Structure 1
Amino acid sequence: MEGLALILLWVAIPSLLFSALQQLLSWRKRATSSQPKFPGPKQYPIVGRVHDLPRFSLWLKFQEWAKEHGPIYQTHALNNTFIIVSDEKIAEELLVKRGHIYSGRPQIRSLIKHKDGPAYSALMDRHDIWKTQRKWAHAAMAEAYKHHFYGHVELEMKRFLGLMLLDPARFLDYTREFCGRVMSRLAWDDATQGRTNGDSADQTLHCMSVSGPITNTMTPLWYLPFAINPWKQFEIKREAEQRAWWLCNFRLAKHRMLKGELPNDTWAYRYFEQVQREGNVSLEQEEEQEVFASCMIGFLNLVGVVTISGPLKFFLMAMALHPEWQKKAQAEIDRVCGDRMPTMADFANLPTVRACLKETVRWRSGVPLGVPHQAERDDEYRGVTIKKGTIILACEWTLNRVPEKYPDGDNFRPERWLEPGWPTYQEPLTRYPNFREGQSMHTFGWGRRTCLGQNIVDDETFVFGAASLWAFNSGPKICPRTGEQVPIDTQATNSHVILEPSPFKLDFKPRSAERAKQILEGYHSVLGELKL
């Protein structure tokens, strides 16, 4: 292995030297420029400022710099210029009001052709493929929300609770699988793909993250000859397998559609029905058309896993670490629902549950750096020229801790959404807080690149949060040897672009023997409807 590493290094040296020369010339040009610029940390020749950037929890460093340099500052990393924003009004000015300038996506070196499409709509540049897929996905998601996702969330929740009762130690696996199953049912009516869906999402996130392949930061290595390029070999294999999986599910759904067996509450049915309305009753298509559609549905399916499973895991952590709020939410659920499992019909009457969920996403954001935007042309802001290609990050971690809006921002305080006097309080409580509208919606991004998933996040997190609190009491795991609580590091994560917490341990116990019986009855009641 060491020999291979040395060979790769020697082969890469000419490319690395050329890149270094480019960076040196670029640095000298910046250093001698007299143009106004935003404040920022000290920069170094060639590399800019990368030597003290942590691979994990990069957002903490950005928060530290924001305290020193203000709500908008800039830094450089190799050949990229970054502008970091930690003020909502500035982010709105650049990313919303000037969204026609700042809605590009930066190149992720280790994710093949993501800017061109059709595989990853959220990571594409703004072109016709992106516009077509986004328009279709928006309409499909809106229609499903009208029907609260056809009851799939509640059905899968009953399965989840049954599994938790039988084997609570696997709560992290079951949580991600729950999200994968809901999305796979909506996409193709095949919940058995749920676990594969979660694993595929996790692999994709790895390949698009700074903490992933080294070629995302040492980009010259990407251009090594294919025969000695393990990163490109891996990515080509991974991407081909993912596309083949999406296409296989798409074709199986098409076969069921033609036989009249595909449920009309799936996104695949919606697509095929549109094709047939246009006159193609037999659904015969060129492979390019099939790939386009299978990627469109596949990515919509995949992104619904990674954006929800992390917040749900953090919610379980928050409830275990804050038993006073666990008890308040359970008292509310018992008063409203009694012995039955909560459903979306209880949404208006469970504001404490919604506040705990909303506060979880503020306290431990799933996207703490924000999703990067890229300037599509030159612009000027506050007298500073922002060059085409500059990457803009609205740092979610820092935005969620602005003292004027989020007092005591480092601590878990659901009352900020429930009690008048807090800056984030909104009425009526039958409507707020939620993930569809109102305060602190920047979690879902900005402007023309806003995530389309607010509605499913709202439904899925609510049902999951309310039902899990209805079913179980939870707390930190107790070490059988010492009798002490097993510590939980609330900031330990996988450090992907979209986070999940690192594995941690909790204890779950049914709230009563009667409640355990109800959980099992619910589980058995859905066995006939679910593919397990």
Structure 2
Amino acid sequence: MEGLTLILLYLAIPSLLFSAIRQILSWKKAGGSKARFPGPQQFPIVGRVHDLPRFSLWLKFKEWADIYGPIYYTRALNQPFIIVSDQKIAEELLVKRGHIYSGRPQIRSLIRHKEGPAYSALMDRHDIWKTQRKWAHAAVMEAYQHHFYGHVERETKRYLGLVLLDPARFLDYTREYCGRIMSRLAWDDATQGRANGDSADQTLHCMSVSGPITNTMTPLWYLPAPINPWYNFEIKREAEQRAWWLNNFRLAKHRMKNGDLPSDTWAYRYFQQLKREGNETLDQAEDQEVFASCMIGFLNLVGVVTISGPLKFFLMAMALHPEWQKKAQAEVDRVCGDRMPTIKDFADLPTVRACLKETVRWRSGVPLGVPHQAERDDEYRGVKIKKGTIILACEWALNRVPDKYPDGDNYRPERWLEPGWPTYQEPLTRYPNFREGQAMHTFGWGRRTCLGQTIVDDETFVFGAAVLWAFDLAQKVCPCTGRPVPIDSQATNSHVILEPLPYQLSIKVRSRERARHILDGYHEVMAELKV
């Protein structure tokens, strides 16, 4: 393995030399500019690439923020970075100057993502991006007006039944739960849920620093195809994903023509739009089908990865903080009694919402933040920022600013419930939530803000309240030692959007009566969910 690594590095030397020449020329061009942001010492050619970890990179950025302040500079090879850990600075750059800082950087191991049409959140700002984003925003908001047509509650009943029958597989069921809801909304095919979750996970791997080494050692990407395993893998993966999306799209179109596609799907909404525009037959050129299938497919995919991780962290948080589990359960029991909570109980369950909100602050699903790229040269606080510079508002650091989040390393849901905490808001029938209010930076900034706040709000609430209604969660006890099996709450897959690494829980139904209600709900929805 060591010999292979050396061979690959030697093959990459021409690209490294090219990067070095570009860096030297940029230094000369910069000339007499003296003003600089603080930051760690930059070494010739490599910058700080040698000590930027591929896993848990956000911890290093937080460490440097504690040393160099709320905005600092670093570099990896010839790529400059500005790291921000102050909300006001992030708003000044990414919101007020969103016309400059709304580009997306090239993720080396994803092919053509900046051009589209496959991944709208990763595209540059051009006509394809504008069209897809406008359509997706309208589609999500229309579905939210109907609280996603009851699909969240129905899939929650299925989930509770599966966990009751086989609690050891709770992590698999959690990701599949998210995948099923999105696939039902997209194409009316919840059976695609598991494949949807796996596809999302694989895509995240390919776009993450912790994924293919070509995302950090970018010169390796330019090796000739016959000896380039990363390029060949991505060609195959992307082709399979696009074919899967296109096949689902065409199946939905066939059902639409036969009058068999439900109106509460995004595919139906798209086909209805074609008809209103005069295309009664729904016939399209292949490039138009690819455009639409990617638009719906990516909307489907991103709704899995943004929710699955927070739900898994929530289960973990409840097991690690039984005092808050008990408080939230008492609230659920008082409001709901022996029936499963639904979105209609939202206003009456602020403790549940606070536990969910605190979970996402404590263990952010996007701890690095999603990178923005400067689309042209700019100047901020007297410092020149070059076109192409990546701006990262580091969510892990933002969530630990002492003035806003006292005791930020610890799980403290009371910060959302009790007057005197900086994040407290009234009325508690409305706050906290994931649609508005404090700490919305977890969904990004300005023109690149995530469009999914509403489905995150509905899905996490119904899931969290229902799980607390149904089960007692605790750390697993080792049968040999009689001690709790440790859970490392910072052990993650280190993707751009995180899930925790597998961990064990003890999951026990709260009573025989609850078990009966869970099974009744499970059998009620099984036939219609096309299991």
Aligned counterparts of 1:22 and 1:126: Cα–Cα separation in 2: 26
1:230 aligns with 2:229: yes
Matched residue, 2:271: 272
Residue by residue over 1:56-92, the C-alpha shift from the partner in whole angstroms, topping out at 9 and shown as x without a partner, is 1111111111111111111111111100111111100
Matched residue, 1:105: 104
Matched residue, 2:116: 117
Give runs of aligned pairs for residues 412-491 of structure 1, distance below 5 A: 412-491=411-490
Residue by residue over 1:300-355, the C-alpha shift from the partner in whole angstroms, topping out at 9 and shown as x without a partner, is 00000000000000000000000000000000000000000000000000000000
Aligned counterparts of 1:403 and 1:3: Cα–Cα separation in 2: 48
- Aligned partner of 1:14: which letter? P
Moved more, 210-219 or 191-200: 210-219
Q: Is the 8 A contact 1:401 1:410 kept in 2?
A: yes
Q: Is the 8 A contact 1:191 1:531 kept in 2?
A: yes
Matched residue, 2:360: 361
1:74 aligns with 2:73: yes
Q: Is the 8 A contact 2:120 2:133 kept in 1?
A: yes
Residue by residue over 1:350-392, the C-alpha shift from the partner in whole angstroms, topping out at 9 and shown as x without a partner, is 0000000000000000000100000111111111111111100
Moved more, 6-15 or 169-178: 6-15
Matched residue, 2:22: 22
TM-score by length of 1: 0.98
Secondary structure at 1:74 match in 2: strand
Note the C-alpha offset of 1:15.
2.7
Give runs of aligned pairs for residues 191-230 of structure 1, distance below 5 A: 191-230=190-229
Secondary structure at 1:526 match in 2: helix
Label 1:56 to 1:2 Cα distance change in 2 as closer, same or farther (>3 A). closer
- Aligned partner of 2:390: which letter? I
Secondary structure at 1:51 match in 2: helix
Matched residue, 1:285: 284
Residue by residue over 1:373-420, the C-alpha shift from the partner in whole angstroms, topping out at 9 and shown as x without a partner, is 001111111111111111000010111111111111100000000001
Aligned counterparts of 1:5 and 1:73: Cα–Cα separation in 2: 33
Secondary structure at 1:408 match in 2: coil
Note the C-alpha offset of 1:11.
3.3
Give runs of aligned pairs for residues 31-180 of structure 1, distance below 5 A: 33-180=32-179
Residue by residue over 1:245-286, the C-alpha shift from the partner in whole angstroms, topping out at 9 and shown as x without a partner, is 000000000000000000000000000000011111110000
Secondary structure at 2:434 match in 1: coil
Q: Is the 8 A contact 1:400 1:406 kept in 2?
A: yes
Aligned counterparts of 2:2 and 2:34: Cα–Cα separation in 1: 46
Q: Is the 8 A contact 2:71 2:85 kept in 1?
A: yes
Label 1:222 to 1:285 Cα distance change in 2 as closer, same or farther (>3 A). same
Aligned counterparts of 1:386 and 1:521: Cα–Cα separation in 2: 60
Residue by residue over 1:406-458, the C-alpha shift from the partner in whole angstroms, topping out at 9 and shown as x without a partner, is 11110000000000111100000000000000011000000000000000000
Q: Is the 8 A contact 1:23 1:47 kept in 2?
A: no
Secondary structure at 2:49 match in 1: coil
Q: How many residues are paired up? A: 531
Note the C-alpha offset of 1:222.
1.2
Aligned counterparts of 1:306 and 1:172: Cα–Cα separation in 2: 13
1:337 aligns with 2:336: yes
Q: Is the 8 A contact 1:27 1:46 kept in 2?
A: no
Note the C-alpha offset of 1:9.
4.1
Q: Is the 8 A contact 1:27 1:45 kept in 2?
A: no
Note the C-alpha offset of 1:461.
0.1
Secondary structure at 1:499 match in 2: coil
Matched residue, 2:258: 259
- Aligned partner of 2:506: which letter? D
Note the C-alpha offset of 1:3.
6.8
Of all paired residues, the percent bearing the same amino acid is: 84
Note the C-alpha offset of 1:50.
2.0
Secondary structure at 2:50 match in 1: coil
List alignment gaps of at least 5 residues for structure 1: none
Q: Is the 8 A contact 2:204 2:497 kept in 1?
A: yes
Aligned counterparts of 1:177 and 1:74: Cα–Cα separation in 2: 40
Q: Is the 8 A contact 2:20 2:78 kept in 1?
A: no
List alignment gaps of at least 5 residues for structure 2: none
Note the C-alpha offset of 1:55.
1.8
Aligned counterparts of 2:442 and 2:320: Cα–Cα separation in 1: 23
Give runs of aligned pairs for residues 262-411 of structure 1, distance below 5 A: 262-411=261-410
Secondary structure at 2:457 match in 1: helix
Aligned counterparts of 1:7 and 1:256: Cα–Cα separation in 2: 53
Aligned counterparts of 1:63 and 1:319: Cα–Cα separation in 2: 26
Note the C-alpha offset of 1:52.
1.9
Aligned counterparts of 1:10 and 1:380: Cα–Cα separation in 2: 38
Secondary structure at 2:526 match in 1: coil
Secondary structure at 2:338 match in 1: coil
Aligned counterparts of 1:359 and 1:464: Cα–Cα separation in 2: 15
Label 1:251 to 1:115 Cα distance change in 2 as closer, same or farther (>3 A). same
- Aligned partner of 2:168: which letter? A
Residue by residue over 1:220-259, the C-alpha shift from the partner in whole angstroms, topping out at 9 and shown as x without a partner, is 2111111111111000000000000000000000000000
Matched residue, 1:492: 491
Secondary structure at 2:12 match in 1: helix
Query: How big is the alpha-carbon RMSD for the aligned residues of Structure 1 and Structure 2?
Result: 1.3
Secondary structure at 1:401 match in 2: coil
Aligned counterparts of 1:203 and 1:238: Cα–Cα separation in 2: 8
Matched residue, 2:241: 242
Aligned counterparts of 1:337 and 1:275: Cα–Cα separation in 2: 43
Aligned counterparts of 2:36 and 2:2: Cα–Cα separation in 1: 44
Note the C-alpha offset of 1:2.
6.8
Aligned counterparts of 2:147 and 2:306: Cα–Cα separation in 1: 18
TM-score by length of 2: 0.98
Aligned counterparts of 1:409 and 1:458: Cα–Cα separation in 2: 22
Aligned counterparts of 1:3 and 1:49: Cα–Cα separation in 2: 25
Note the C-alpha offset of 1:527.
1.1
Moved more, 488-497 or 32-41: 32-41
Q: Is the 8 A contact 2:256 2:268 kept in 1?
A: yes
- Aligned partner of 2:18: which letter? F
Note the C-alpha offset of 1:22.
3.4
Aligned counterparts of 1:411 and 1:7: Cα–Cα separation in 2: 46
Aligned counterparts of 1:256 and 1:342: Cα–Cα separation in 2: 34
Residue by residue over 1:136-178, the C-alpha shift from the partner in whole angstroms, topping out at 9 and shown as x without a partner, is 0000000000000000000000000000001101111000000
Aligned counterparts of 1:290 and 1:253: Cα–Cα separation in 2: 12
Aligned counterparts of 1:489 and 1:26: Cα–Cα separation in 2: 43
